[in-house]
Amino acid sequence: MAHDTHVHVRSQAEFEYVKKKRAEEMRGHLATFAIMIFLTLIAFTMVAAGFSVYLIVPIILLLAGIQVVLQLYYFMHMSGKGHGMIAFFMFSGMFVAFITVLTFVTIIWW
Amino acid sequence: MSSIAQKKGFGATIWDFMTTVDHKKIAILYLMSGGFFFLVGGIEAMLIRIQLVKAGNDFLSAGTFNEVITMHGTTMIFLASMPILLAFMNAVMPLQIGARDVAFPFLNSLGFWLFFFGGIFLNLSWFMGGAPDAGWTNYASLALASEGHGIDFYTLGLTISGFGTLIAGINFLVTIINMRAPGMTYMRMPLFTWTTFVASALILLAFPPLTVGLFFMVFDRLFGASFFAVEMGGNTIIWEHLFWIFGHPEVYILILPAFGIFSEIFAIFSRKRLFGYTALVFATILIGFYGFMVWAHHMFTVGLGPTANAVFALATMIIAVPTGIKIFNWLLTIWGGNISFSVPMIYAVAFIPTFVAGGVTGVMQAIAPLDYQLHDSYFIVAHFHYVIVGGVVLAILAGTHLYWPKMFGTMLSEKLGKWTFWFFFLGFHLTFFIQHFLGLMGMPRRVYTFGADQGWDLFNAISSSGAILMATGVIILLVNVVMTIVKNERIGNDPWGDGRTLEWAIPSPPPFYNFAQTPLVRGLDTYWIEKMDGNKKGMIFAEPLGDIHMPNGSIIPFVISLGMFIASFGALYFMDGKPWALAVLIGGLTLMFASMLVRSLKDDLGFHITKAELLEDAKGGNTDGH
């Protein structure tokens, strides 16, 4: 509307700062990507090595959980500013779903 | 489009309400349709009490009685209490946070029309072969065995209206997170806004399990699935879990906004800041949080095993702690206040002992071994009427008196309001207090009659006579509403004289853009702070007067909901092999998706109110309160 468009020209210091930030972010992405590949390798190796099912299933579930967290925080930018409320609602929803599944598993299907 | 009020014909007014996306008009729609369903549910309640007035009565047949109790419960919870609370949330919450509308005005309208058509669909069952008859909890074994289409009306109707409620909940969440005026931090939000926020979060998390359960039920009954059919390898207990995972938070979805309304009333009519505001906020959040961990206390006698029963019993008892915190904070708000006993305050004061009584019987039922005695008896009926009527309905009646001037610009009569209160309040206790003892004497809930030799005659007769008093109270309220509308005496911004929050700083009813300039919030009880500082304008402005961007009205929400409504009839009669059923189902869905497509493809950029129009409005406006 009537508001004037604000044009901002970055100073040299700001430019350096942003560049450094982005480099750091990129390092984080690459490291996370490597970790995720490694976790996937562990999961496949475990199955290929033929360990007991009772060992494999919980560990794979645990690895899956870690993957989800890494995905959310490093690739979907949930660690960024202003995501607190979103994180709160996501975790509340996960908590409710977890309680529900836990109850179903323990008192209906056990 | 001009902002200056014009005289309109009847048809134009109807069209205006059908296409409106204004939160204040949608609030009026919610209030009117919720009020209508409240009367329908009330008539069903009267039928129940007439049937039970004496032993061996044959006023209603056993089958009709089952339909009446099912529809009474379903109507009162889904179609009366929730919509009326949504009406107050819509009318007041955006004003309290200094917003011009909710975040998604179009969705707000869609939410209303989905609820409305769902409610109409459910009630059409009376005229189309019989209402649902498996109780409002619709337990699966009973529901699957039910003949006719009653249960299908229940599942499809609640699916539609459930979508509407979910949409409303998400809309309020986004509104409160994103649209607070500058300075309105979370810990400066009025308590009604806080309870709206938490109740909306509960809607977001609790309605999906219900939708899943209803979907399973629809597929079991209409399309030959067997999620709950034990003989086919299904599990009937899963319905109970899904229903109560939704059903228990649902109770808090109802009671938290009620707590919010009472918190506002205590502060306004004691002329004091709320005692323990922070504690009240955290108690609200805690109640919402615990609400998801207690649902199995409705199922102690199902046979979950002693461990599960113990866990859920303990979790249930913990809820008494935050609720107790609230009760004490309200009492300490009144303590030493400059109290005026206007109608809303009378309701609020009466609410405390009534609700505590309901809470105490709740803790009794949380004791799992005792619950084996109380389960499915009239003690349970007495308990939940004490919390829902003694909590939610008293809040609805109080809120109607409190917010009527803000919604309609006229004042309900204090004198008739007091008559309503006394008839309703005394009638309520007469009806339900004695039902505790009927329960302890062994009267099971949901029985359509009883024998003369069982010793329940006198107490049932007393209970029924109380129901007549409650009905009288509601009729007086209706008379009050009609007289107020006819008299049409306009009032100023702050009719109670002691308003504390932003909604009382603007005209009643507010202009359709709410705030010509967005207010700047300097603390809790924003308007009160400005009043104490002698600010005649009632608020400090956060922006200069400028053009305001507003959304256009739209008939599309109505058409989308109508499409779902029509499709539901197709789904319902599909099972009977009616040749037209499939065509109706496809036709309805086509209408729905086509209107969604139109909405998606057609850009609607809204319109602007110019500064000149705002200045014109301000000349005729009343800004200093009296």
Which of helix, strand or coil describes residue B541? strand
Q: Average per-residue pLDDT in chain B?
A: 93
Whole-number mean pLDDT of chain A? 86
Q: Which chain A residue lies closest to B201 (C-alpha atoms)?
A: A89
Question: How many CB atoms are located within 10 Å of the residue B447 CB?
Answer: 14
pLDDT at residue B559 greater than cutoff 80: yes
Domain-embedded: residue B625:
no
Residues B433, B439: Cα–Cα separation, whole Å: 11
Contacts of B296 in chain A (CB under 8 A): 103, 107
3-state helix/strand/coil string of B249-318? HHHHHHHHHHHHHHHHHHHHHHCCCCCCHHHHHHHHHHHHHHCCCCHHHHHHHHCCCHHHHHHHHHHHHH
pLDDT at B495: 94
Q: Per the structure block, which two tokens stand in for B423? A: 């008839």
Per the CB < 8 A criterion, the answer to whether B30 and B102 are in contact is no
Do the domain assignments include residue B371?
Answer: yes
pLDDT score, position B358: 95
Residue-by-residue DSSP string for chain A: --SPPP--PPPHHHHHHHHHHHHHHHHHHHHHHHHHHHHHHHHHHHHHHT--HHHHHHHHHHHHHHHHHHIIIIIS-TTSTT-HHHHHHHHHHHHHHHHHHHHIIIII--
* pLDDT above 80 (res B387): yes
Contact at CB, A108 and B209, closer than 8 angstroms: no
pLDDT for the residue B3: 43
B84 token code pair: 């009326």
Task: Give the CA-trace dihedral at B386, B389, B391, B397, to 10 degrees.
Answer: -150
pLDDT the model gives residue B623:
45
The answer on pLDDT for B8 being more than 80 is no
What is the distance in angstroms between the Cα of A81 and the nearest Cα belonging to chain B?
15
User: Which of B177, B204, B546 has its CB closest to that of A2?
Assistant: B546
Q: Within a domain: residue B562?
A: no
Query: For the packed helices B82-96 and B150-178, what is the interaxial angle rounded to 10 degrees?
Result: 10
Q: Domain containing B415 — which CATH number?
A: 1.20.210.10
The Cα B411–Cα B391 span in angstroms is: 24
Based on the structure, what is the number of domains in chain B? 1
Whether the link from the prior residue into B511 is cis, omega within 30° of 0, is no
The β-bridge partners of B548 are B609
pLDDT at B536: 87
> Count of residues for chain B?
626
| Chain A residues closer than 8 Å to B235 by CB | 108
Name the token pair of B51. 């049937």
Per-residue pLDDT for A82 more than 50?
yes
Collect all residues of chain B within an 8 Å Cβ-Cβ radius of residue A93: 204-205
* Residue of A99, A104, A107 with shortest CB distance to B292: A99
Distance CA B21, CA B1 (A): 15
Lowest mean pLDDT among A101-110, B255-264, B417-426: A101-110
pLDDT band at A87 (very low <50, low <70, confident <90, very high): confident
Question: C-alpha dihedral over B505, B510, B515, B521, to 10 degrees?
Answer: 30
B599 lies in some domain: no
Interface test with B, best of A92, A96, A100 (most B CBs within 10 A): A96
Nearest to B157 by CA among B274, B279, B70: B70
pLDDT value of residue B1: 41
Chain B residues touching residue A92 (CB < 8 angstroms) = 201, 205
Contact A99 B201 (CB under 8 A): no
**pLDDT in the model for residue B469:** 97
Q: What pLDDT sits at residue B2?
A: 43
Q: Does B286 touch chain A (CB under 8 A)?
A: no
In this model, does residue B271 exceed pLDDT 60? yes
The pLDDT-based confidence of A50 (bands split at 50, 70, 90) is: confident
Determine, yes or no, domain membership for B343: yes
Q: pLDDT tens-digit profile of B505-552? A: 999 899 999 999 999 999 999 999 999 999 988 899 999 999 999 999
Provide the 10 A C-beta neighbour count for residue B365: 21
pLDDT band at B620 (very low <50, low <70, confident <90, very high): low
* Residues present in chain A in total: 110
Residue B574 has pLDDT above 90, yes or no: no
Q: How confident is the model at residue A3 (pLDDT cuts 50, 70, 90)?
A: low
Does position B577 have pLDDT exceeding 90, yes or no?
Answer: no
Mean pLDDT check: name the lowest of A25-29, B462-466, B550-554.
Answer: A25-29
Tell me the nearest-neighbour CA distance from A93 into chain B, angstroms. 6
Angstrom distance (rounded) from CA B348 to CA B191: 15
Q: Tell me if A89 and B204 make a contact (CB, 8 A cut-off).
A: yes
Confidence of residue A5 (pLDDT cuts 50, 70, 90): low
Q: Dig out the tokens for B387 from the structure.
A: 């919390």
Query: Which of the residues B175, B286, B304, B611 would you substitute to probe the A interface, choosing the one with the greatest number of A C-beta atoms within 10 Å?
Result: B304
Domain annotation covers residue B579: no
What is the three-state SS of B438-471?
Answer: HHHCCCECCCCCCCHHHCCHHHHHHHHHHHHHHH
Burial tier of B145 (Cβ tally within 10 Å: 0-12, 13-18, 19+): exposed
Cβ <8 Å between A104 and B245: no
Tell whether the model's pLDDT for residue A79 goes beyond 80.
Answer: no
**Contact state of A89 with B201 under an 8 Å Cβ cutoff:** yes
Q: Which of A2, A85, A107 sits opposite B304 (nearest CB)?
A: A107
- B292 CA: distance to closest CA in chain A (Å): 7
How many CB pairs lie under 8 A apart between chains A and B? 36
Q: Is A108 in contact with B237 (Cβ distance < 8 A)? A: yes
Tokens of B583: 């065509």
Q: How far apart are the CA of A96 and the nearest CA of chain B, in angstroms?
A: 7
The pLDDT of residue B460 is 96
A106 contacts in chain B (CB < 8 Å): 308
pLDDT higher than 70, residue B356: yes
pLDDT of residue A21: 87
pLDDT at B287: 95
pLDDT of residue B626: 37
Burial of B575 (0-12, 13-18, 19+ CB in 10 A): middle
Residues B471 and B399: their CA atoms lie apart, in Å, by 19
Predicted local confidence at residue B45, as pLDDT: 97
- Do the domain assignments include residue B585? no
How many CA atoms lie within 13 Å of B431's alpha carbon, on the beta-carbon side? Answer: 27
**A interface with B, Cβ–Cβ below 8 Å:** 1-2, 85, 89, 92-93, 95-96, 99-100, 103-104, 106-108
Nearest alpha-carbon partner for B177 in B259, B249, B93, B112:
B93
Three-state DSSP string of B107-169: HHHHHHHHHHHHHHHHHHHHHCCCCCCCCCCCCHHHHHHCCCCHHHHHHHHHHHHHHHHHHHH
**What is the model's pLDDT at position A39?**
93
pLDDT bracket for residue A9 (50, 70, 90): confident
Of the ranges B5-14, B185-194, B486-495, which one carries the lowest mean pLDDT score?
A: B5-14
Closest chain A C-alpha to B17 CA, distance in angstroms? 29
Helix axes B191-222, B150-178, angle to 10 degrees: 150
Say if residue B544 is exposed, middle or buried (CB neighbours under 10 Å; 0-12, 13-18, 19+): exposed
**Those residues with Cβ within 8 angstroms of residue B481's Cβ, 6 or more apart along the chain or in another chain:** B412
Report chain B residues whose CB lies below 8 A from the CB of A108: 235, 237-238, 241
Q: Please tell me whether the interface predicted TM-score (ipTM) of this complex is above 0.85.
A: no
Per-residue pLDDT band for A8 (boundaries 50, 70, 90) equals: confident
Chain B from 354 to 383: CB within 8 A of any A CB = none
Q: Residue B6: its pLDDT value, please?
A: 55
Q: What number is the average pLDDT over the span B57-81?
A: 95
pLDDT band at B622 (very low <50, low <70, confident <90, very high): very low
Whether B561 is in a domain gets the answer: no
